[in-house]
Amino acid sequence: MRKKMYVGNALRLAIVTVASLLLFAGAPPAVRAATNWTVIVGGQTPDISVYANGFFPRELTIQTGDTVAFQFVGFHNVSFLSGAAPPPFAVKSDTGYDGNPQVFFPAGTSTYDGTGFHSSGIPPGGKPFTYSLTFTKAGRYEYACTLHPGMLGVINVVDGAVTETPEGALARGKAEQAATLAAGTKAYNNLNPQPTGSSVAVTIVGDRQERYSVLRFTHDPLVVPVGTTVTWSVSDPFEVHTVTFASGAALPQFITPQAQPSGPPKILLSTAALTPTSAKTYDGTGWINSGLLAAAGAPSGAPSSFSLTFTKPGRYVYWCLVHDEAHQEGIIIVK
């Protein structure tokens, strides 16, 4: 009797279990697995003439608990400021200016609930770099690259279902990045200023909406008569630049990490690059430097233009000391 009852209970349990499986077979799972998404950080043309200062896709909607892998292409950071002001790029030191550790080094945990300062820091050189952050609370989160003012992205985190797939979002990001690089390339191809009378204006361009910077001065060598005054102006919202005639001298390295007895290295900024010279004319000799130039209204407060008058025929090469590794080099032929 006792044994029979046991068998009967087991049978009932089996029937209930099968019935439950049939009942739930067509329904969605109650708990969705956390999903990984990709955002591309930056981008560049093969010759680095055009630099993408954007997050691709610009805006992404994910579900609470999902992780975003920020995949770096270039010199940027990913910073979630939670409403705080972006940290300045440079801080004053005893010897000059240092790069701000808050801009250069990682900060915060690997989860984000809409509060605190979380940053990737800059990518370590020479290898692919990905920064991953898991979003634990619903909300609309703006984030920034604090190296490039105005380089912004948005992660929307929702508790409900999302319609886009990670593959779809990545394809959208790649298409946005391609459009940015195409717009920048078009701008670069049009950089051929012509002298008007005894002056010529060279504009260093970038575009906040299209999210590019052109890391060149002119597309072709600039040809001017002796006595011409060239005025360089920065209208690129993202970058700082210099106009530097070294007359054959070695170019200083703009950023030099200096190891410390403990903790992270100091980030030394080149005093030679930061310091403007006073000469107003150039005859092919000596060190001429604009110091940092930035678009009007940029957070650095740097001047936006620099002028130089060419007094002797010759072929002169000049550089931006911030972007010389990206080959930001210009040529002026004075006849």
Integer Cα distance of 125 and 85 in angstroms: 27
Q: Which stretch binds Cu ion (CB under 5 A): 41-49, 63-71, 303-311, 322-330?
A: 322-330
Q: How is residue 209 annotated by DSSP? A: T
C-beta closer to Cu ion: residue 62 or 103: 103
Partnered with residue 213 across adjacent β-strands are: 51, 206
> According to the binding rule CB under 5 A, does residue 222 interact with Cu ion?
no
Would you say 121 or 330 has its CB closer to Cu ion? 330
Closest listed residue to residue 238, CA positions, set 218, 210, 272: 210
Nearer to Cu ion, 79 or 328 (CB): 328
Nearest by Cα to 199 from 217, 220, 225: 225
Output the smallest distance, CB 241 to Cu ion, in A. Answer: 3
Q: Which amino acid is at 247?
A: S
| Comparison of 60 and 320: residue with beta carbon closer to Cu ion | 320
SS3 state of residue 174: helix
Window contacting Cu ion (CB under 5 A); options: 79-87, 145-153, 235-243, 292-300: 235-243
CB neighbour list of residue 233: distance below 8 Å, 6 or more residues apart: 201, 202, 203, 204, 293, 304, 305
Identify which range of 116-124, 193-201, 239-247, 257-265 contacts Cu ion by CB under 5 A: 239-247
Does position 322 interact with Cu ion (CB under 5 A)? The reply is: yes
Q: 194 by DSSP, 3-state: which?
A: coil
Residue 19 burial (C-beta neighbours within 10 Å; 0-12, 13-18, 19+)? exposed
> Quick one: 200 or 322, whose CB is closer to Cu ion?
322
Q: How many helices (H) and strands (E) does the chain have?
A: 4, 25
Q: How far is the CB of 217 from Cu ion (least distance, A)?
A: 9
Q: Is 323 in the site for Cu ion (CB under 5 A)?
A: yes
| Least distance in angstroms from the C-beta of 294 to Cu ion | 10
The smaller minimum CB distance to Cu ion, of residues 76 and 323, is found at 323
Site for Cu ion in 165-194 (CB under 5 A): none
Question: How many of the chain's residues bind Cu ion (CB under 5 A)?
Answer: 5
Among 241, 246, 290, 319, binds Cu ion (CB under 5 A): 241
Give the closest residue to 142 by CA, choosing from 69, 93, 200, 81: 81
Listed in sequence order, the residues at least 6 apart from 112 whose beta carbon sits closer than 8 Å to its beta carbon are 80, 118, 133, 134, 135, 136, 137, 141
Distances (CA, A) of 212 to 17, 165, 180, 183, 295: 60, 27, 6, 8, 14
Instruction: Say if residues 13 and 19 touch (Cβ distance below 8 Å).
Output: no
Closest to Cu ion by CB, 118 vs 148, is 148
Nearer to Cu ion, 118 or 241 (CB): 241
Q: Residue 319 CB, nearest distance to Cu ion (Å)?
A: 9
Stretch that binds Cu ion, among 41-49, 129-137, 171-179, 234-242 (CB under 5 A): 234-242
Hunting for tokens 């575009």 — which residue is that? 207
Judged by CB under 5 A, the residue of 328, 330, 332, 334 near Cu ion is 328
Q: Taking the complex as a whole, how short is the minimal distance between the CB of residue 321 and Cu ion, in angstroms?
A: 8
Q: Are 82 and 114 in contact (CB under 8 A)?
A: yes
Which stretch in 76-84, 119-127, 288-296, 326-334 sits in contact with Cu ion by CB under 5 A? 326-334
**Residues 150 and 237: beta-carbon distance below 8 Å:** yes
Footprint on this chain of Cu ion (rule: CB under 5 A)? 241, 320, 322-323, 328
